[in-house]
Chain A
Amino acid sequence: MHELPQQLANGLILGALYGLVAIGYTMVYGIVQLINFAHGEIFMVGGFGALTAFLALPGGTSLWIAIPLMLLAGILVSTLVAVGAERFAYRPLRGAPRLAPLITAIGLSIVLQQLVFSFYPDAKKARVFPKIPGDPFELAGITIQRSDIFLIIAAPLCMMILGWFVAKTRSGRAMQATSQDPDTAKLMGIDTDRIIVMAFAIGAAFAAVAAVAYGLRTGQVDSRMGILLGLKAFTAAVLGGIGNIYGAMLGGLALGLTEGLATGYIQHVPGMDLFGGAAWKDVWAFVLLIVVLLVRPQGLLGERVADRA
């Protein structure tokens, strides 16, 4: 149970999941300095979007066909919800005191959970999500569930595409400019409203990929799955340095590793047996956050934020 390579692998896989969701917090914050606390629910509705596609497919559809369609549906639902939230809930509050969008986000979370109930009245209970069938892979003594293969491929792929997009494309450079100085970006001819929508949309798409990964991994989705995961992903974003996309993934991985190692090892430390095991793993994630922020308030890869007006 406490072999190191296995714990590391588990931690990294979990961390990649946090990292994908953390991207959404960090991108939106980087552009509009808004913490979209409804992002956990954006993740959750992506899971239900994918579930809807799965249920609509005839039984026995090959997962090779089902997963791409589920992914597409999840991305569609998450993105539409996020873009709608930006347009109708957050945009009217731009320039309002910081507390207003925060409360809006909380309200939005409740609305989204409720909305899922209207489609799936039993959504509080776990809804069965497909798993990739077959025995786990064994690799150099590490066991990897088949369903996790999706995440192992998707997470680095998503990060590579995003990195390329931000650094190399015209829209990506406009996004960087908007995040560094929005008014001056407008002077360059950049439609910053469009860039903000884009940040919400990209974050939502990543959350939907994470939701499919989560569903495959756990074999279920439920209306509350975004609450703790959203909080962890937000923690990951802060840990990595909010506003920095690579920081978000790094923060996610660091958090996942901490959880994995804490779960596996802390109970074996003399006198710490009470604090080990799965029940305490969420606590260790936040202990890590507090320790990092004490030493490096801007997060692992964060820039100083003092000059933000």
Chain B
Amino acid sequence: MTALLEVKDLRVAYGKIEAVKGISFTVNQGEVTTLIGTNGAGKTTTLRTLSGLLKPTGGTVTFDGQPLGTVPAHKIVSLGLAHSPEGRHIFPRMTIEENLLLGAFLRKDTAGIAEDVERAYTLFPILGERRKQAAGTLSGGEQQMLAMGRALMSRPKLLMLDEPSMGLSPLMMQKIMATIVELKAAGTTILLVEQNAQAALSLSDQGYVMETGRIVLTGTGRDLLGNDSVRKAYLGED
């Protein structure tokens, strides 16, 4: 099992307040790895740091054998790391198709891009039906599909999804989770951040539990699902 992403003792602070307090984890090639944790644990901060949007105050990140230390945010995607941010952040006044094409902003292979746009429409047919519509007019679930489709447009080695099920109806959530399973089956490596621990862990190879900036528990998805403290804290059982 080769580690595609290796995070060692990562620290991130907002001003004087440390939000991520020295975490280490790995993401293996071809696997789904999940970070779970309550609101404010530092999951989004971690992903934004991996993408270069925040600068770490300590630790190292190695992606695909290369240290990410000082790589600026706009160069990260070209290394093969794509990020579907929390809250979707689609470009509301651009069309669905323009959003997808922005996901392929740095690619030059016109034919390949067109192919991938079609692939996104196959994965999410509703996007294809509305391709010329402003993305801001989509429902929350559809916007989530667009954000995922857009992230896939760079043909990433690692896809990072930050709370893709946030605010979605149960039906829409199932659809998103099924898509993650589908992507995994196609060989995509995924780093998933979720509050919906049940759904996330049951499709994960590896899981990490974060609490107030630290990783407090590690195990396979199955292990964590069976873990008493996880069941208590995240699955609402006692």
Contact = CB atoms under 8 A, between A and B. Distances in A.
Interface in B68-89: 72-78, 82-83, 85, 89
Given A173-B98, A177-B102, A192-B74, A187 B83 contact: yes
Given A184-B85, A184-B91, A173 B74 contact: no
Interface string B17-36: 00000000000000000000
Interface residues of A, number: 18
A184 B75 contact: no
A17 to B, nearest CB: 29
Nearest to B107: A189
B89 A186 contact: no
Looking at chain B, what size class is its interface with the partner chain?
20 to 34
B53 interface: yes
A180 B53 CA distance: 16
Given A174-B105, A180-B93, A184-B91, A189 B98 contact: no
Contacts of B105: 170, 174, 188-190
A176 interface: yes
Nearest to B135: A180
B74 A189 contact: yes
Given A186-B73, A187-B77, A187-B83, A181 B98 contact: no
Contacts of B51: 186-187
Given A173-B102, A181-B89, A189 B83 contact: no
Interface string B47-71: 0000111000000000000000000
B74 A176 contact: no
Contacts of B91: 176-177, 180-181, 184
Given A176-B94, A181-B91, A188 B53 contact: no
Of the listed residues B73, B77, B89, the one surrounded by the most CB atoms of chain A closer than 10 A to its CB is B73
B154 to A, nearest CB: 7
B102 A180 contact: no
A175 to B, nearest CB: 11
Contacts of A188: 77, 102-103, 105-106, 150
A268 B211 CA distance: 75
A183 interface: yes
A180 B94 contact: yes
Contacts of B187: none
Contacts of B154: 189
A176 B77 contact: no
Contacts of B72: 186, 191
Contacts of B102: 173-174, 177, 185, 188, 190
Given A177-B102, A189-B106, A190-B74, A183 B53 contact: yes
Contacts of B103: 188
Interface string B88-120: 010111100010011101100000000000000
Contacts of B82: 187
Interface in A156-170: 170
A145 to B, nearest CB: 40
Contacts of B98: 173
Contacts of B94: 173, 176-177, 180
A174 to B, nearest CB: 7
A305 to B, nearest CB: 13
B92 A180 contact: yes
A187 B93 contact: no
A183 B162 CA distance: 15
Nearest to A174: B105
Contacts of B150: 188
B74 A186 contact: yes
A173 B102 CA distance: 8
A174 B89 CA distance: 15
A184 B89 contact: yes
A173 B97 CA distance: 12
Interface of A: 170, 173-174, 176-177, 180-181, 183-192, 303
Given A176-B94, A177-B91, 7 more contacts: A180-B94, A186-B51, A187-B51, A187-B53, A187-B76, A189-B75, A189-B78
Q: Top 10 closest A-B pairs, CB basis?
A: A186-B73, A189-B106, A184-B89, A189-B77, A188-B105, A180-B91, A191-B74, A186-B74, A189-B105, A188-B102
Interface of B: 51-53, 72-78, 82-83, 85, 89, 91-94, 98, 101-103, 105-106, 150, 154
25 contacts: A173-B94, A173-B101, A173-B102, A174-B102, A174-B105, A176-B91, A180-B92, A181-B91, A183-B53, A183-B73, A184-B89, A184-B91, A186-B52, A186-B73, A187-B51, A187-B53, A187-B76, A187-B77, A187-B82, A188-B105, A188-B106, A189-B77, A189-B105, A189-B154, A191-B74
